[in-house]
Amino acid sequence: MAYIDYYKILGVDKSATQDDIKKAYRKLARKHHPDLNPGDKEAEKKFKELNEANEVLSNPENRAKYDKYGENWKHGEEYEKAQQQRQYQQQNYSGDGFSGADFGEGEDFSDFFQSMFGGTGGGFGKSSRGSSSGKFKGQDVHAELNLNLKDAAQTHPQTFEINGKKVRITIPAGVYDGQQIKLKGHGSPGFNGGPNGDLYITFNIPVHPDFERIGNDLKTKVSIDLYTAILGGDVKVNTLDGSVNLKVKPETQNGTTVRLKGKGFPMYKKEGQSGDLFVTYEVKLPTDLTDKQKELFEQLKNS
């Protein structure tokens, strides 16, 4: 397999922080997303490469293995276990023809990976007694899934692609930004008959322009004119599932907050239960008053 430079794909250097990697991925993923480049095979290929690079470098454990083992990073654990096994065999079967050689820090691992995973056999794949080197679980895969706030508030199916395979899941209403779920057995294939790794999905929910989420509650602001604030009236307020008409009491002060019970964010895996929506009134002062209107305000001021 040809070596893939994940740092180059994301346009960052090896000293990049996790935040640098996250920002670079988001910027490039938006640019090359298939939805924004319909029919563009090159953009689709680039998007897959970006996802693959992000899956590795955004996970500190995987990144450390990639930095150490390069293209063979997925089999780093197998190498370390095989090395431990060889050391054990050297200590316990010194008369069975084991050499005293061992790999050192920073040494080339290519011979090992060729014999272990390249189909050519070799001393590490089996011991001199012919026993199997053991089954190893496949590498876990980490992915990030972007959702807008309204999607996160609804139970809905979602299909996406990981390592060339389509995965379909049902996302429960109420997931939160940064929440991680595990799909058992959807990671990389196991080695030597071992189980597949697991797929970890982290939800990324960007800030919504109209709603601020605090736990299961939502906060929003709505503008009302001065006359409605003074005399009372009706105002339309947007919620996650539509709009409602709200009664404004006479002499409502700027910054007054009212609560709409049950109009907040759905509670995770608690069907039919939601937080509350808190609506803050922002009184908008009139502009471009006529002389007559100014005169009326003067009368009110002096009354």
Residue pLDDT tens, the chain, 303 long: 356 789 999 999 999 999 999 899 888 988 888 777 888 888 888 888 888 888 889 888 888 888 887 766 776 666 666 655 555 445 544 444 333 334 344 444 444 444 444 443 333 333 333 334 567 888 888 888 899 999 999 999 988 777 677 888 899 999 988 898 999 988 888 888 889 888 989 999 998 999 999 999 999 999 999 999 999 999 999 999 899 999 999 999 999 999 999 999 999 988 889 999 999 999 999 888 899 988 888 888 887
Is 220 in the same domain as 275?
yes
Last residue of a domain, one of 206, 237, 253: 206
228 and 171: one domain? no
- Pairwise CA distance, residues 75 & 197, whole Å: 12
Contact by Cβ (8 Å): 34, 48: no
- pLDDT value of position 86: 55
Which pTM value belongs to this model? Answer: 0.55
CA pair distance 89, 98, nearest whole angstrom: 8
Residue 165 neighbours by CB distance under 10 Å: 9
Q: 297 and 221 share a domain?
A: yes
The 10 Å Cβ neighbour count of residue 143 is 20
Handedness of CA 257, 261, 264, 268 (dihedral sign): positive
Report the pLDDT value the prediction gives residue 279, as an integer from 0 to 100. 97
Of 189, 153, 198, which is closest to residue 171 (Cα–Cα)?
A: 153
Rg over CA atoms, the chain: 30
| The domain boundary residue, chosen from 206, 241, 259 | 206
DSSP string across 244-284? EEEEEPTTPPTT-EEEETT-SPBPTT-TT-B--EEEEEEEE
Looking at the fold, whether 178 and 229 belong to one and the same domain comes out as no
Specify whether the CB–CB gap between 271 and 260 falls below 8 A. Answer: no
Q: What angle do CA 59, 65, 67 make, to 5 degrees?
A: 95
CATH number at residue 176: 2.60.260.20
Among the listed residues 198, 210, 196, the one whose alpha carbon sits nearest the alpha carbon of residue 150: 210
Q: At what angle do helices 60-69 and 41-57 cross, to 10 degrees?
A: 100
* Judgement on whether residues 144 and 224 belong to the same structural domain of the protein: no
**Domain residue limits at 291:** 212-302
Domain shared by 196 and 177, yes or no:
yes
Q: Are residues 256 and 291 in the same domain?
A: yes
> What pLDDT does residue 84 have?
57
221 occurs within a structural domain? yes
Q: For the chain, what is the domain count?
A: 2
Picking from 191, 206, 221, the residue at the C-terminal end of a domain is 206
